[in-house]
Amino acid sequence: MDWIDEKMEQFRSCIRNLPVKKALLSYLCIAAVIAFLLSSATIRICEKWTEILAERQNVNMDRAYTREALFFYYKQSAAGITDREETILILLQEMVRWCPYVYTVLTMLAAGSLFYRKRLQKPFGILGDAVEKVGKKELDFTVAYESEDEMGKLCASFEEMRQNLEENQKEMWNLVEEQKKLNAAFAHDLRTPLTVIRGYSDFLVRYLPKGKISQEKLKDTLRLLSEQAERLERFSGTMKSLRSVDEIPFAPAGKRKQELEMRIQGMVDALNVAKEVKIVYLHDCSGGKLILDEDIVMEVLDNLLSNAIRYAKSQVEIETKVEGAFFYLFVSDDGPGFSVEALENASDLYFSEGLKEEHFGIGLSLSDLLCRKHGGEISFANSAWKSGAVVSASFEIQGKI
């Protein structure tokens, strides 16, 4: 029995996987055979009834060798054929004449209906539902129809198209999200350079007319303003060409440690002029030359300072140092510090805390990405000896000179 069941399953599978044209032809051929058999059986039955009637009327069957001749003989005979027998003979004659056509039409209709139910109805239903879902932009489904015929291939092609649409939709969504990140990062990172420029501008407006600024201080102030303007211009040009924050360029170059510290000190002085909070910069006085991406370091510092200033009560502290193969930035404030949730999610792009409208993690998320690009990382903690948050950023030094 198992062998028979296996063979029957193989036969059904073979029939199920026949190409649509061959399957339709098979259905029609079977219908034609059935129509032929039914017609033959019907004709044979009609002939049998005709013979019975002929025997009852003593008709010479040799003379009435055709149905038409037999009927004609009956019509001309006065031997007593009844009206009922005449009607039966007419019906038998018409059945013999028309039964092949009737059976052919009926079997072909039945074959077409059966073919549709067995081979087309299910895949058409699957494809119809799929088209409706795609029209509603619902792509989280699967087009599955197990067959190797044209309908199976069509469903497989539709499934491939659905997968491509789903991938394109995800890619488009990712592009939109990346663009949001870029826009958020661009808007967020403008804040500190603009604050620096505003601080120096206020400083010049306040003291230059009074003659309280020396020529040397004026030159330094104008130089720092020019550096910030160039940095904004460079940053703007870079952001225009980017499609993703992951594409932010990494270009390490040799830089004297003291020059980097002077640049940080200049930013601190400008922010102190703005008098939002007091900023203190601590650093060692060691010299040397480091190979790192200064723009990335300053970008991260901008973001850390921006968040620290927002939450500080009165003071922000910056510390830089070199340990081993890493350059470290520490930014702390005297604000409320990080909550437990913030310690875990501060660098998430859209994380926000409390009722603040701005997302807490825009700058920190970008800082985390930049640190990783530079071979380092960013970490968050609360101060152990005073209130406030501490954020540390590390950058792998590509070499020392």
Q: What is the pLDDT of residue 39?
A: 92
Inform me whether the pLDDT recorded for 359 exceeds 60: no
CATH number of 251-400: 3.30.565.10
Domain with CATH 3.30.565.10 in the chain: 251-400
Q: What is the pLDDT of residue 33?
A: 94
Pairwise pLDDT comparison (64 vs 393), residue with the higher score: 393
Q: What is the pLDDT of residue 354?
A: 52
64 — pLDDT class (breaks 50, 70, 90): very low
Q: What is the pLDDT of residue 363?
A: 66
pTM (predicted TM-score): 0.51
Backbone CA torsion sign across 135, 139, 145, 149: positive
**φ, ψ for residue 307 (rounded to 5)?**
-70, -40
350 — pLDDT class (breaks 50, 70, 90): low
234-266 pLDDT per residue, tens? 666 666 555 555 667 778 888 888 888 888 888
List, edge to edge, every strand of the sheet that includes 399-400.
253-256, 289-292, 399-400
Q: Of the segments 60-69, 174-183, 258-267, 341-350, which one has the largest average pLDDT value?
A: 258-267
197-212 pLDDT per residue, tens? 777 787 788 878 877 7
Inform me whether the pLDDT recorded for 171 exceeds 60: yes
Backbone CA torsion sign across 354, 355, 356, 360: positive
Pairing of strands 315-323, 278-283: parallel
